[in-house]
Amino acid sequence: MAALAAPPSFCHASHHRASHFSAAAASARSRKATNLRIAAAAALPTAAAAGLPMDAALPPRPVPAGESRRRRCECFDLHRQIVHIADACAWQRSVVAKRRGLKNTCEDRSDTLIALQHSPVYSLGSATRVAEDLLFDVENSPFELYRVDRGGKVTYHGPGQLVVYPILNIRSHKMDHHRYLRSLEEVIIRALKSAFSIKASRVEGLTGVWVGDKKVAAIGIRVVSGMAYHGLALNVTTDLTPFEMIVPCGIKDRGVCSIKEIVQKASDGREIDDTSLVDMAYDSIMEEFTGLFDLSLEFRPQP
């Protein structure tokens, strides 16, 4: 299936901000959004209530003698911007190609994080079965269909969904791809708890993060010669309607949810500022990711 032609690269959302993140900025946003936090975890559909397993937290990896405590990581903060999926995939491939050329040299000392949102698109992973996973005529798709080289099946990306693409040499982090997937899940679980008091979990045999029996974050990766790319998609304020026209990740008996939906339900439906929710999710994901992977972020201007 051929992808549609990509629109001009890096279409900016109307609420664009400078690509900068600091502890002070995060703290200010956190203080401003204090009233958004959920005080009563009992109001949420927890994993325990649903009888789902909750894995033990993964500790940061041990640091070998003589190795720097934190690995450098360049970060491109576009988390309020809308970027076409074709541009994001091309960007990742270019970073991977550069990093593979530097592998095993003294210059290979950094990782990369890219945070952004996508314009509406159905992303088809390598295991997608079109006839079974798409519940519409592909000749009249409600959104663009785009094949990607990650594992997994079909999912939806759109505004309000925080997408984070880590590009890591997982061998340098002493991980195989299974431990890496569990680590990405752990980052999201910790971030949801710290920013929103949401109790999320894993489901045995499935990849992703769940609140009760609904998936709040999808994860899909590709690993080439130890280099991992693609990553995670967290439903923050996402319109969930497009998920009804597919079998998300090939899972027929479970639904999807968003942070906004959970927070509103726990606060009697009061209106919540979407931008604040996305900012809080981004800040928390960055904090938990750098902590679990022992990274020191170095922010770069967008390309």
161: CATH: 3.30.930.10
Within a domain: 29: no
Confirm whether 249 is a catalytic residue: yes
Q: Total structural domains in the chain?
A: 1
Residue 122 exposed, middle or buried by CB count within 10 Å (0-12, 13-18, 19+): buried
Within a domain: 25: no
Give the strand pairing for 71-83 and 110-118: parallel
Q: pLDDT tens-digit profile of 15-32?
A: 333 333 455 555 555 444
Within a domain: 88: yes
How many CA atoms lie within 13 Å of 213's alpha carbon, on the beta-carbon side? Answer: 8
Write the single-letter amino acid at 216: V
Query: pTM score, two decimals?
Result: 0.81
Within a domain: 62: no
State the DSSP H helix or E strand holding residue 80, giving kind and residue range, or none if neither.
strand 71-83
Within a domain: 285: yes
Q: pLDDT tens-digit profile of 175-228?
A: 999 999 999 999 999 999 999 999 999 999 999 999 999 999 999 999 998 999
Within a domain: 50: no
The C-alpha atoms of residue 159 and residue 153 are separated, in whole angstroms, by: 20
Choosing from 73, 75, 249, 257, the catalytic residue is 249
- Which residues, in sequence order, are CB contacts of 81 under 8 Å at separation 6+? 10, 11, 12, 13, 16, 116, 117, 302
Within a domain: 26: no
Could you read off the pLDDT tens digit of each residue along the chain, which spans 303 residues?
A: 444 333 333 343 333 333 334 555 555 554 445 445 543 333 344 333 333 343 444 555 454 454 456 899 999 999 999 999 999 999 999 999 998 888 766 666 689 999 999 999 999 999 999 999 999 999 999 999 999 999 999 999 999 999 999 999 999 999 999 999 999 999 999 999 999 999 999 999 999 999 999 999 999 999 998 999 999 999 999 999 999 999 999 999 999 999 999 999 998 878 889 999 999 999 999 999 999 999 999 999 987
Q: Which domain holds residue 121?
A: 71-300
Within a domain: 155: yes
